[in-house]
Structure 1
């Protein structure tokens, strides 16, 4: 059986009742096909604690589907010597990790859990078999990767935009993923009608300001100043490894404003 931990709504996720973030692999996948994947690998799902590194090394022939939590992925295009530049991205619920192994088995991206994280490992040869038998699995993956690439371009590579808008954009993106999970919980809470929303406050757990600085290629003090400005504007409150967005629409407005 999958790990039973209070941090996750395991039955809702495995039975396809939890809404997945728009653009994610599980967001594109049909509920019928998701059941096939759960039957194949649901019992192998496990939880990793914060700061644990997922087993995604060159000798590991699995891709992982994130069922709960948030991870940081680091690639080292010029080697991993001290001081070498890295490419840092955040991935969350519904996303596939290690998809490059489907075409290059020894590929490797350093993947570190930023929160308690629940993942389902999928054996690469069997994933290829699923692609042949259920083409919608392959299509869902391709669509999610295209959505992710477009999202990454806007969030991580717009160096011409101001640090405030870049930080706001990253936080808004992370909040959207958190909002999908929280909205499901709110809808199913006693007394709430179907379709009821959680409200304006969305909690983002995982990335620290230092993590955000690495992902956006900004100085830590620059990110701290941007977070302070967002806090002073009333759209955000921050704690250790946690941000609480009080006005998501306003945060999107700051991120989308013309420089």
Structure 2
């Protein structure tokens, strides 16, 4: 492997990269296959995402399930390197290649190598930043939130075509789960974006003719409410 081609390994020495590689298993997962989780054999292994595919972790909070998309450079199971917890189910949204390192091995290597600890911590920090920026902006309307998610997907996994940029993978159900809205909300929002020619939908893919316009929608400041725009109330 040319380790420098993969973001996770760029800060690590060649010797450490080789040590991780020799203790791991590289495998390709097709769309819908389970990568890790309680029902998967060796499901608590730490998976380093290698290609430009998309994986999705299913997170359960008080019986509600949400999705979080993960990309090249992320680790599935990074938090479990430092804490004991049940591994969430992770699925391949598109064809995804991972390097699976047994959790016990990764914990041992992290204790021995500060550079690896920083690499795992960086993966965690990037994941948390993405969560806050993309998924937790509840004050914004569905169109803004969906556009922000699309901008993230374009940046991480999109590729240029003659008609703009294309993203393969997420279904409308995936998008609805990720943003914690109904599928009907996603369908209505996509209909509006298509009418404005900001998106074209294809089989298991989205095409974005004008990414700059999409970013403008995503970053628009929500209109102020009457309570914030009204002047001070006059009294007798």
Q: Partners of 2:34 and 2:88 in 1: how far apart?
A: 10
1:148 corresponds to: 127
Query: What is the TM-score when the length of structure 1 is the normalising length?
Result: 0.74
> Is the counterpart of residue 37 in structure 1 residue 17 in structure 2?
yes
- Number of the residue aligned with 1:125: 104
Distance (whole Å) between structure 2 residues aligned to residue 95 and residue 177 of structure 1: 11
Gaps of 5+ in 2: 223-236
Q: Aligned to 2:57, which of 44, 61, 73?
A: 73
How far, CA to CA, are the matches of 1:93 and 1:202 in structure 2?
18
What is the TM-score normalised by the length of structure 2?
0.81
Other-structure match for 1:171: 150
d(CA) in 1 for partners of 2:15, 2:216: 38
Report the equivalent of 2:64.
85
**Helix, strand or coil at the partner of 1:204:** strand
User: Matches of residues 172-187 of structure 1 in structure 2 within 5 Å?
Assistant: 172-179=151-158, 182=159
How far apart, CA to CA, are the structure 2 residues paired with 1:71 and 1:202? 20
Q: Which has the higher strand share?
A: 2
Residue 181 of structure 2 corresponds to which residue in structure 1? 218
What residue in structure 1 maps to residue 234 of structure 2?
Answer: none
How large is the Cα RMSD of the aligned pairs? Answer: 2.5
Distance 1:103 1:142, change over 3 A: closer
Deviation at 1:51, TM superposition (A): 1.0
Whole-angstrom CA distance in 1 between matches of 2:112 and 2:209: 45
Equivalent in the alignment of 2:215: 252
Gaps in structure 1 of 5+ consecutive residues: 1-13, 21-25, 79-83, 184-197
Q: Which moved more, 1:170-179 or 1:132-141?
A: 132-141
Q: Distance in 2 between matches of 1:230 and 1:16?
A: 39
For the pair shown, the structure with the greater C-alpha radius of gyration is 2
Instruction: Work out whether residues 66 and 120 of structure 1, in 8 Å CA contact, stay in contact via their aligned partners in 2.
Output: yes
Residues 50 and 114 of structure 1 are in contact (CA less than 8 Å); yes or no, is this contact kept in structure 2? yes
State the aligned residue count.
218
How far residue 122 of structure 1 moved from its aligned partner, in angstroms, is: 1.0
2:34 paired residue number = 53
SS in 2 for 1:89: strand
Question: Could you tell me which residue of structure 2 aligns to residue 195 of structure 1?
Answer: none
Give the whole-Å Cα distance in 2 for the aligned partners of 1:17 and 1:200.
31
